[in-house]
Amino acid sequence: MTEHTASAASEASTAANAPVDSPSRKKIALLFLRDVVVIVAAALVISFLIKTFLIRSFYIPSESMQSTLLVNDRIIVNQLVPDVVPLERGDVVVFRDPGSWLTIPSSPPLAPLEAAGDWVFSLIGLSASDSDQHLIKRVIGMPGDRIVCCNDLGQLSVNGVPLDEKYVKLPADTTAVSGQDFITVVPEGTLWVMGDNRYDSSDSRFNGVVPIADVVGRAFVISWPLDRWQWIDSYPLVFNGVERAQ
């Protein structure tokens, strides 16, 4: 073997045993980082679309729906109601303030970093920063319904049918489901809504009806805290026998 041949063989052996080029490692790392960014971005977009068109989260800021909903409960709302899925009597609905219903002061502005985090979490439904701009009540009357309260037993009637409202919270030694007697016919395109905590709820008795166009959706589950996780009942049997208004 000549000296030139031995030198060439030695160089070939050294090249074969050399480590992978660092640019290749950087390329692999960049590809991995790109995939992570794409996955996270896709997840955020999907979550945003779900929140915008299907479901979203709200928290409960007041006692008006006790004992069904407690202060600081978080609920999930089906936004297909009422545009795709029809409303029913007994549904618990979230709606935008039709005008001057809200008396709860707005939340103070967040610090920039906190606000950014709240925005990101709101995209995936883990934050509900605009909950204090909405209200939640139970649908008692649909368009055209005639609602009368109260009969001799303290019951509310819809289209002549007295209701046994099992969800209502009343003060001790009180049987009337409302502290105010009233008779009303629900106008077309609107709802008559009331809080379950009847003696601590500012609802249609005081503020009037709610336009169906202002309904954001139907609350169907308590999602937080975990020990409160449960479906939100619409109590269809309570309204069993109530005919559609003619």
Say if residue 62 is in the same domain as residue 30: no
Identify whether residues 75 and 20 lie together within a single domain: no
Instruction: Provide the pLDDT confidence category of residue 31 given band limits of 50, 70 and 90.
Output: confident
**Of 27, 46, 65, which residue sits at a domain end?**
46
Alpha-carbon dihedral 209, 213, 218, 223, rounded to 10 degrees: -110
The string of pLDDT tens digits covering residues 134-144 is: 999 999 999 99
In the chain, alpha helices (H):
3-17, 22-53, 112-123, 204-207
Does the residue 126 lie in any domain?
A: yes
- 122 classed as catalytic: no
Same domain, 60 and 27: no
The pLDDT of residue 227 is 95
Whether 114 and 233 share a structural domain: yes
Q: Cis before residue 127, ω within 30 degrees of 0?
A: no
Q: For position 66, which CATH number holds?
A: 2.10.109.10
Task: Express each pLDDT in 196-237 by its tens digit.
Answer: 999 999 999 999 999 999 999 999 999 989 999 999 999 999
Q: Quote the domain boundaries for residue 212.
A: 54-239
Is 231 within a domain?
yes
**Is 131 considered catalytic here?**
no
Tell me: do 80 and 144 sit in the same domain.
yes
Q: Which of 57, 62, 64, 223 is catalytic?
A: 64
Please check whether residue 113 lies inside any domain of the structure: yes
- Catalytic pick from 57, 137, 178, 234? 137
Please tell me whether residues 198 and 96 are part of one structural domain.
Answer: yes
Phi, psi of 192 (to 5 degrees): -100, 120
DSSP 12: H
- pLDDT of the residue at 127: 56
Per residue in 49-79, pLDDT (tens digit) is 555 557 888 989 999 999 999 999 999 999 9
Same-domain status, 136 and 61: yes
Residue 246 lies in a domain: no
Residues 9 and 35 in one domain: yes
Strand-pairing partners, residue 156, are 149
Q: Is the separation of the CB atoms in 98 and 210 below 8 Å?
A: yes
Strand partners, 137: 93
Q: How many structural domains compose the chain?
A: 2
Are residues 123 and 173 located together in one domain of the fold?
yes
Claim to verify: residue 161 and residue 188 sit in the same structural domain: yes
Top pLDDT among 131 and 86 is at 86
* Exposure letters 224-240 (e unless 16+ CB within 10 A, then b): eeeeeeeebebbeebbe
Q: Residue 66 and residue 195: Cα distance in Å, rounded?
A: 8
Residues 37 and 67 in one domain: no
* Higher per-residue confidence, 109 vs 157: 157
16 lies in the same domain as 103: no
What are 74's two structure tokens?
Answer: 């978080």
Under 8 Å CB-to-CB from 178, ≥6 apart: which residues? 149, 150, 156, 194, 198, 205
